[in-house]
Amino acid sequence: MREFTSSLAVSRIKPSPTMAVTQKAAELKAAGRDVISLSAGEPDFDTPDFVKDAAVKAIRDGKTKYTAVDGMPELKDAIAAKFNRDNNLTYDVSQISVAPGGKAIIFNALLATINPGDEVIVPAPFWVSYPDMTLLAGGTPIIVKTDADSNFKLTPAALENAITPRTKWFIFNSPSNPTGAAYTRGEIKALTDVLLKHPHVWVMTDDIYEHIIYDDFKFTTPAQIEPGLLDRTLTVNGVSKAYAMTGWRIGFAGGPQGLIKAMAKIMSQSTSNPCSISQWASVAALDGDQSFLADRNAAFKSRRDMVVKMLNEVEGINCARPEGAFYVYPSCAGLINKKTPSGAVIKNDEDFVLELLKAEGVAAVFGAAFGLSPFFRVSYAAAEHDLREAGARIKRFAESLA
Ligand code: PLP
């Protein structure tokens, strides 16, 4: 039999490690192990009923055909209204793109702009797909590490340092996956001041966790803070996280018309339009009563506080309290080079996560996957009793190490 050889583009990338851990945990569960998975990147809440009702109505009304390639006008109107209402940004419908998920939006934008050798600045820890999508598009990811002391936030000096004549994009994500850290208005302004000095650099801001924020934190986005960057900023968002609609696959963005058109061209020759039913559901989500968001955030916040407290009670683990999303990114530095009861040495965060999964059936994602070690990501989009039990197991595991 002939051996399969992948393309050069595919050989440059690896499968999403977050999905791999979720998969491994699911396999152990299927084999009868009692596994608590804290590795998922999605809310454990269900899609709100009013959104589901809109989708059912769309099906019954026969809204089951192709739509405009990069989103139907009704959804683009709802998105323009959302940008206006939440972000004080005015986008014409010709400046809006809708795709099957935030992931597809980002990929289309990179594919539409990157030439071989173009550089994309990605602060670490990063959402796993930014570097690999850059590679797939033929670009070079420039990873800039942050540290726990600065709350995993990129400093203006580090950004300035990373910019070269080959820089195409700066990718910005706040609140962040995997750390939950969110930039204040002042912190964003300090970065946009640097960007203003470099007119060839485009800004991709991934605002997908915009609505999942705590303690009166005020979300802002770069183009809102520095309108001088509007003509080179792509403001990315979607319904996946806020509206618990990960399976519906709708992401969107506002940006300069030329870029939006190029992204539509890619869609016209690849995916075509995102699912028509999901688009109608998204109209309902964006236009509907948003008050359920506060209720869900209250639940997330109490879980965040509980998880941070439990983790900080474990010797060898140190956990910051982030402003948003549903992740924490604790350090396991104090446990590196220790031995499990069976003699395995924990050399790095990947070993830590793997041994924890084997010993206690708790699945988290190792920090190396996000470009910054020795840390691990815990998703607290899980039931409170599971989080409590997971906390006890992590403590027991850490105490078993010598
Ligand atoms: N951006 C970030 C930071 C994410 O965490 C995710 C999902 O995990 C996405 C984008 C992609 O979202 P979607 O499910 O809409 O493709």
Are 95 and 218 within one domain? yes
Q: Residue 191 Cα, ligand 1 centroid: separation in angstroms?
A: 23
Q: Note the pLDDT of residue 25.
A: 81
Show the beta-strand stretches assigned E in 146-299.
167-173, 202-206, 233-238, 251-254
Checking if the pLDDT of 19 tops 80, the result is no
Region 127-145: mean pLDDT is 96
Q: Residue 336 Cα, ligand 1 centroid: separation in angstroms?
A: 30
Instruction: Indicate if ligand 1 lies below 6 Å from the C-beta of 324.
Output: no
Are 335 and 357 within one domain? yes
Q: What is the pLDDT of residues 230-264, one digit of tens each?
A: 999 999 999 999 999 999 999 999 999 999 999 99
Region 204-225: mean pLDDT is 97
Q: Residue whose CA is closest, atom 12 of ligand 1?
A: 102
Q: In what order do the strands lie in the sheet with 202-206?
A: 96-99, 251-254, 233-238, 202-206, 167-173, 119-124, 140-145
Checking if the pLDDT of 120 tops 90, the result is yes
Q: Note the pLDDT of residue 18.
A: 67
DSSP 80-143: HHHHHHHH-----GGGEEEESSHHHHHHHHHHHH--TT-EEEEEES--THHHHHHHHTT-EEEE
CA distances, 188 to each of 41, 138, 174, 222, 286 (Å):
25, 28, 10, 6, 26
Checking if the pLDDT of 84 tops 70, the result is yes
Q: Specify if 353 maps to a domain.
A: yes
Q: What confidence category does residue 24 fall into, taking pLDDT thresholds of 50, 70 and 90?
A: confident
Q: Note the pLDDT of residue 41.
A: 86
CATH number of 247's domain: 3.40.640.10
Instruction: Indicate if ligand 1 lies below 6 Å from the C-beta of 171.
Output: no
Q: Specify if 59 maps to a domain.
A: no
Q: Note the pLDDT of residue 229.
A: 98
Instruction: Indicate if ligand 1 lies below 6 Å from the C-beta of 246.
Output: yes
Q: In what order do the strands lie in the sheet with 376-379?
A: 327-328, 376-379, 365-366
Region 141-158: mean pLDDT is 97
Are 72 and 210 within one domain? yes
> Which residues, at least 6 apart from 228, have a Cβ–Cβ distance to it below 8 Å?
192, 196
Which one of 127, 171, 205 would you pick to mutate in the ligand 1 pocket, going by the greatest count of ligand atoms within 8 A of its CB?
A: 127
DSSP 261-293: HHHHHHHHTTT-S--HHHHHHHHHHHHS--THH
Instruction: Indicate if ligand 1 lies below 6 Å from the C-beta of 237.
Output: no
Are 233 and 297 within one domain? no
Are 280 and 296 within one domain? no
Provide the domain count of the chain.
Answer: 2
Q: Report how far residue 334's alpha carbon sits from residue 309's, in angstroms, rounded to the nearest whole number.
A: 17
Are 306 and 262 within one domain? no
Q: Specify if 83 maps to a domain.
A: yes
Q: Residue 278 Cα, ligand 1 centroid: separation in angstroms?
A: 16
Checking if the pLDDT of 22 tops 80, the result is no
236, 261, 287: which is the final residue of a domain? Answer: 287
Q: Residue 106 Cα, ligand 1 centroid: separation in angstroms?
A: 9
Question: Is residue 211 a contact partner of residue 286, using CB atoms and an 8 Å limit?
Answer: no
- Dihedral over alpha carbons 204, 300, 248, 25 (to 10 degrees): 100
Q: Note the pLDDT of residue 40.
A: 82
Q: Note the pLDDT of residue 241.
A: 96
Q: What confidence category does residue 20 fall into, taking pLDDT thresholds of 50, 70 and 90?
A: low
Are 113 and 140 within one domain? yes
Q: Specify if 51 maps to a domain.
A: no
Locus of tokens 């996560």: 353
Q: Note the pLDDT of residue 336.
A: 98
Are 114 and 163 within one domain? yes
Region 145-171: mean pLDDT is 97
Q: Report how far residue 329's alpha carbon sits from residue 175's, in angstroms, rounded to the nearest whole number.
A: 13
Q: Note the pLDDT of residue 27.
A: 87
What is the enclosing helix (H) or strand (E) of 144?
strand 140-145
Q: What is the pLDDT of residues 180-208, one digit of tens each?
A: 999 999 999 999 999 999 999 999 999 99
Are 302 and 267 within one domain? no
Q: Residue 101 Cα, ligand 1 centroid: separation in angstroms?
A: 7
Are 364 and 274 within one domain? no
Instruction: Indicate if ligand 1 lies below 6 Å from the C-beta of 127.
Output: yes
Instruction: Indicate if ligand 1 lies below 6 Å from the C-beta of 251.
Output: yes
Q: Specify if 260 maps to a domain.
A: yes
Query: What is the span of the domain harbouring residue 150?
Result: 65-287
Question: Is residue 163 a contact partner of residue 201, using CB atoms and an 8 Å limit?
Answer: yes
Are 249 and 268 within one domain? yes
Q: Which two tokens stand for residue 207?
A: 């605002």
List the single range of 42-46, 215-219, 395-399 with lowest mean pLDDT.
42-46
Q: What contacts 24+ positions apart, CB below 8 Å, involve 80-86?
A: 80/254, 81/286, 81/287, 82/237, 82/286, 83/235, 83/254, 86/210, 86/219
Are 149 and 27 within one domain? no
Instruction: Indicate if ligand 1 lies below 6 Å from the C-beta of 248.
Output: no
Q: Residue 102 Cα, ligand 1 centroid: separation in angstroms?
A: 5
CATH number of 22's domain: 3.90.1150.10
Average pLDDT, the chain: 96
Instruction: State pTM to two decimals.
Output: 0.96
Q: Specify if 54 maps to a domain.
A: no
Q: What is the pLDDT of residues 39-55, one digit of tens each?
A: 888 998 999 999 999 99
Region 290-309: mean pLDDT is 96
243, 260, 287: which is the final residue of a domain? Answer: 287
CA distances, 280 to each of 61, 234, 399, 400 (Å):
11, 23, 51, 52
Ligand 1 atom at shortest distance from the alpha carbon of 41:
8
List the single range of 2-6, 61-65, 67-71 with lowest mean pLDDT.
2-6
262, 287, 312: which is the final residue of a domain? Answer: 287
Ligand 1 atom at shortest distance from the alpha carbon of 106:
10
